[in-house]
A = this chain, B = another copy of it.
Amino acid sequence: MSATLADVAAKAGVSRQTVSNAINTPRIVHPATLQRVMAAVDELGYAPNLHARRLRTSSARTIGIRLERHDDGIHGVLLDRFLHAVTEQAAGLDRHVLVFTADDADAEVAQIRSLSQRSLADAFVLTSTDHRDRRIDALAEAGIPFVAFGRPWDDGSAPHSWVDVDGRAGTREATDACLATGERVAFLGWPDGSGAGDERRGGWRDAMADAGLPADLDRAVEDDPAQAQAAAAELLAAGATSIVCASDTLALGAIGALSRADASVPVVGFDDTGVAAGLGFSSIDQNLGAVAAAVLELLHGEPAHRLVTPRLHRRANPRWGLPAQQSAAADGKDAS
């Protein structure tokens, strides 16, 4: 059906091997021959059969990634963006991405083993790592190349490559930016104990300490807009001049509190999801493109790690939560 190496060789009047060289190592074939071969390739619309190549070279050049189930929204959006970035950049490195699903960590390891052994994928990316992640030891022991997106939150796991976002740097930058509009920068985060959440709170504390200010306006709730709204209301009542949040979900709640209080102070979210764009508040972009690049870089080679610096995506101000009359003014054709 599709043209093969032999067809091209026949058409160009050379051996199959020369065609192979022309494609894989063009610089070792005579320019004139090369041109003739390439012309034949174009004419026949030839593209190599990758199964044959992979069988021969026993390399899949394919990255396996588990698709997580995410009924929660934001988490899913982030992983989706990350997956997109990995896939896009992998293509530039002549690599493909195969996805799979698994119900739990053990099933994921089983899938990875299977894909690896059947040589469908030869490198893997682990997402949503947690304390004492079983997957890490299992894969390290099996000698399967992988990179974790997420730092090892405990020291017990086997040495491995990982990439993570420097949440501390993110909230620090956001806090510094907020200090321009007032000293009473509040933090709205999650209860202690979640690694990422603690990091984010730490960045706010650091920035306040560096500015010689007390880090006293601090509230912790679950990642839920209703709880966040209540907590934010208290922070406003306590005189907050801005609110740095550990997630866009919390920021959404804070915006709600602003709305009810007819207040207007800057709110900064985390993750820069569609909610932040839609409501127009600033948010910290995890910089998943950079994460993806780092992951691909570490996929082959000795265990190493990278901490990616997120970026504050500044937006003017909440457009929502303002009195309806003002909002109505935006009812025109200015939606972008």
Contacts and interface: CB of A to CB of B under 8 A. Distances in A.
A331 to B, nearest CB: 5
Contact of A55 (B52, B67, B233, B335): B52
Interface string A209-222: 00000000000011
Interface residues of A, number: 75
Contact of A256 (B52, B77, B277, B321): B321
A323 interface: yes
A259 B259 contact: yes
Contact of A83 (B49, B67, B259, B328): B67
A-B residue pairs, 7 tightest by C-beta = A73-B274, A222-B335, A230-B328, A51-B55, A88-B101, A233-B324, A80-B80
B221 A331 contact: yes
Contact of A87 (B67, B274, B319, B324): B67
Contacts of A221: 331
Interface in A282-326: 319-321, 323-324
Interface of A: 2, 45, 47-52, 54-55, 60, 67-74, 76-77, 79-81, 83-84, 87-88, 91, 96-101, 114, 117-120, 221-227, 229-231, 233, 249, 252-253, 256-257, 259-260, 273-275, 277-280, 319-321, 323-324, 327-328, 330-331, 335
Contacts of A48: 118
Contacts of A233: 324, 328
A261 to B, nearest CB: 8
A274 B91 contact: no
Contacts of A118: 47-50
Nearest to A276: B73
B101 A84 contact: yes
Contacts of A225: 278-279, 320
A329 B70 CA distance: 27
Contact of A257 (B54, B97, B114, B324): B324
